[in-house]
Structure 1
Amino acid sequence: MSLRPWHAEAWARLQARRERDALPHALLLAGPAGLGKRDFLATFVKGLLCQQTHDGTPCGVCRSCHLIAAGTHPDVAALSFGLRKDGVTRSEIVVDQIRDLSARLAMSSQFGGWQVATVDPADAMNAAAANALLKTLEEPTQATLLVLVADEPARLPATIRSRCQRIDFLVPTRDVSLAWLAAEGVKDAEAALDAAGGNPGMARTWAADGALKQRGEVRHDLKALAAGRGDAMEVVKRWQAAEPARYLWFAAQAATDELRARAAGKAAPLESQMDDESLDAWYGKANRARDALRGPLRVDLLLLELLAAWR
C-alpha cells in the first residue's frame, strides 16, 4: 500500500507523535471520498502494530502484518454496516454495534501492544450509537486507538468531533492531482478531474467507469429540457436506473457552469430560461436531492420534482 502525495504532511505528523509516544486515543480522518483516507488508515494501522516497523512503515512479512492482511489480527476491530435480522445490510451503524465494540476495547491487548478499532463510515452512526460512542471516547483505555472515518464529518455530533484528533484530507492542487493521475495511467485526466470537482481519486475511478459519458448525457438532457424538447419522465428513468447520486452531482455542476458562463459574459451552454437567482436556487435543490437519496423518499419523485423545476 503506497501513500498518495497529499498524505505526506498528515503521515509525518502522526509518525512524529507515535515516536514521542504521544498518539491521541481517538482520531477522526475527515474529507471527501476519493482522497485515500482508507488506504492511509490501513497503512498506518499496519505500521502501528507491525513487529518490525521502520519509521511507521509496515514490513509486510511479520506475523502481525500477515494477520492484518488476513483480517484476523486479534487487536484490530473494524466496525461498519451490520446486517439486519432479515439479512439485509443496514444503512446506519446502530447502538448495539457500538456497545459490542466498547466491550471489546475494555479487554487487554492479546499481543501486549496497541488495540485499534475503526468505525467507518462514522458519519453513518445514528443518534443512539453516537451517544454510546461518546462514553467510550470520554473514558479511553490505555494503549487503545479509536479511529473514525467520515466523508461528511459535519454529520457527526460536535461532542464526538471535539474529542478526536482530526486529520483533514483536502483536495490537492490541480498540478499535484494531474501528476498523480498521469502516474496512474489515467486517460482524459483533465476532463475527469473537472468532472470530479478536482478530486483525483474520484477522477481516477470516473475515468475508468464511463462517468464522463454520463456527465455529457446530463448536460444534453438539461439543455433539451430547457428548450422544451426533452421528456422529463424518460430522463428520470435513465438517471434512476444508473447512479442517481452521480447524475445529481453532474446536474449541480452543470448549473454552476451555467452561472459562471453568464458571469463571464459567455454563451450559457445549457440555455436555461431561469434567471440567476432561480438557477442558484436550483443548484441548491439538486444538492439537497442528492443528500435525500439516503432517506426513505422515492428516487423517481425526487428526480421528477427537480427536473420539473428546471424545465
Structure 2
Amino acid sequence: MSIPSWHAELWTRLQARRQRDALPHALLLCGPQGLGKRDFLRRFVRGLLCQHPQDGDACGTCRSCLLFDAGTHPDYVALTYGLRKDGVQRQDIVVDQIRELSARLATASQFGGWQVASIDPADAMNSAAANALLKTLEEPASQTMLILAADAPWRMPATIRSRCQRIDFQVPKHEESLAWLQRIGVRDAEAALVAAGGNPGLARIWVEEGSLAQRQEVRKDLAALASGRGDAIAMGKRWLDDAPEQRLWFAAQAVADEMRARATAQSTPLSSSLDGEGLMAWYDAANRTRDALRGPLRGDLLLLELLGRWR
C-alpha cells in the first residue's frame, strides 16, 4: 500500500500521543471521501494491537497481526451496516448494533491489551443508536478505544463529536496530490484531479472505474436538456441506474464551471438559459438531491424534479 504523504503529520501526532501513554478513548476520523481514512484506521488499529510494533506500525508476523489480517482478532470488532430480517442490507446503523458493541467492550481483553472497536460510517447511525453510544463514550472501560470514521461528520450529533478526539483529513495542495497520483501510476492525473475537485483519492478511484467518461456524459446530458433536445424522464432513469450520487457531483461541478465562464465572459459549456441566481439555486439543489438520495424518498422523483428545473 502506498501511504499518502498527507497522512504523515496526522500519523506522527497520533503516535506521539501513544508514546506518552495519552491516547484518547475515542477518535473521530473525518474528512472527504477518498483521502484514505479507512486505510489510516486499519493501519493504526493493526499497530495498536500488534505485539511487536515498530514506530506504531505492525510487525505483520506476530499472532495478533495474523489474527487481525484474517479478520478473527478477538479484541477488535468492526461495526458497519447490518442486515434486516429479510436479508437486505440496512441503510443506517441501529441501536441494537450499538448495544451489542457496548456489551462487547465491557468485557476483558483476551490478549491483555487494548480492546478496539470501529464504527464506519459513523454518520449513518440513527438517533437511537447515537444516543445509545453516548453512555459508552461517557463511561469508557479501561484500555478500550472506539474509532469512528465519517465522510460527513456534521450529520452526527454534537454530543458524539464533542466526546471524540478529531483527526481531520483535508484535501492536500494540488502539487502534492498530483505528485502522489503520478507516483502510483494514475493516467491522465491532471485531468482526473481537476474532475475530483482536487481530491487525489477520488481522482484515483474515478480513473480506475472509468468515471471520467461519465463526467463528460453528464455534461452532454445537461447541454442537451438546456437546448430542449433531452428527455428529462429518460435521463433521470439512466442516472438513477448508474451511480446517481456521482453523476450529481459531476452535474454540480459542470454548473459551477458554467457560472465561472459567465463571470469571465467566456463561452458557456452548457448554454443554460438560467440566470446567475438560477444557476446558483440549481447548484444547491443538485447537492441537496445527492444527500436526499440516501434517504427514504424516491430517487426517480428527486432526479426528475431536479432535471425538470434545469430544462
TM-score by length of 1: 0.98
Counterpart in the other structure of 1:30? 30
Give the fraction of aligned pairs with identical amino acids, expressed as a percent: 70
- Where structure 1 has 5 or more consecutive residues not aligned to the other structure, the ranges are none
Name the SS for the 1:116 alignment partner.
strand
Cross-structure match for 2:9: 9
Structure 1 window deviating more from structure 2 (182-191 vs 160-169): it is 182-191
Indicate the residue corresponding to 1:57 in structure 2. 57
The letter of the residue matching 1:31 is: G
Partner of 2:300: 300
Please give the residue correspondences for 1:118-157 in structure 2 after superposition, counting only pairs within 5 Å: 118-157=118-157
How big is the shift at 1:11? 0.2
| Aligned residue type for 1:90 | R
Q: For residue 218 of structure 2, what is the aligned residue in structure 1? A: 218
* 1:229 and 2:229 aligned: yes
Distance 2:105 2:149 in 1: 18
Q: State the match for 2:70 in structure 1.
A: 70
SS in structure 2 of the partner of residue 178 of structure 1: helix
Alpha-carbon shift at residue 237 of structure 1 (Å): 2.3
CA distance in 2, matches of 1:244, 1:77: 32
CA distance in 2, matches of 1:117, 1:209: 31
Residue 55 of structure 1 aligns with an amino acid whose one-letter code is D
Give the number of aligned pairs.
311
User: What amino acid is the match of 1:239?
Assistant: W
SS of the equivalent of 2:87 reads: coil
TM-superposed CA distance for 1:236, in Å, is 1.5
Alignment partners' CA distance in 2, 1:244 and 1:41: 28
User: 2:83 maps to which residue?
Assistant: 83
Who is 1:309 aligned against?
309
CA distance in 2, matches of 1:202, 1:104: 35
Inter-partner Cα distance in structure 2 for 1:284 and 1:161: 26
CA distance in 1, matches of 2:210, 2:65: 36
CA distance, structure 2, for counterparts of residue 163 and residue 236 of structure 1: 41
- Equivalents in 1 of 2:84, 2:235: separation in Å? 34
The one-letter code sitting in structure 1 at the alignment partner of 2:205 is T
**Structure 1 residue matching 2:163: 3-state secondary structure:** coil
What is the letter of the counterpart of residue 240 of structure 2? Q
Following superposition, the deviation at residue 89 of structure 1 comes to 0.9
| 3-state SS, counterpart of residue 96 of structure 1 | helix
**What CA distance in whole angstroms lies between the structure 2 residues aligned with 1:290 and 1:82?**
23
Letter in 2 for 1:82: G
Given that 2:289 and 2:302 are in contact with CA atoms closer than 8 Å, whether structure 1 keeps it comes out as yes
Could you say which residue in structure 1 is the equivalent of 2:187?
Answer: 187
Offset of residue 163 of structure 1: 0.3
Let me know the Cα RMSD of the aligned residues. Answer: 0.9
Alignment-mate amino acid for residue 39 of structure 1: D
1:234 shift after superposition: 2.2
SS class of match (2:149): strand
The equivalent of 1:19 in structure 2 is 19
| Structure 1 letter corresponding to 2:57 | T
Show CA shifts across 1:148-180 (max 9, x none): 000100001000000000000001111111111
Counterpart of 2:275? Answer: 275
- Using the size of structure 2 for normalisation, the TM-score is 0.98
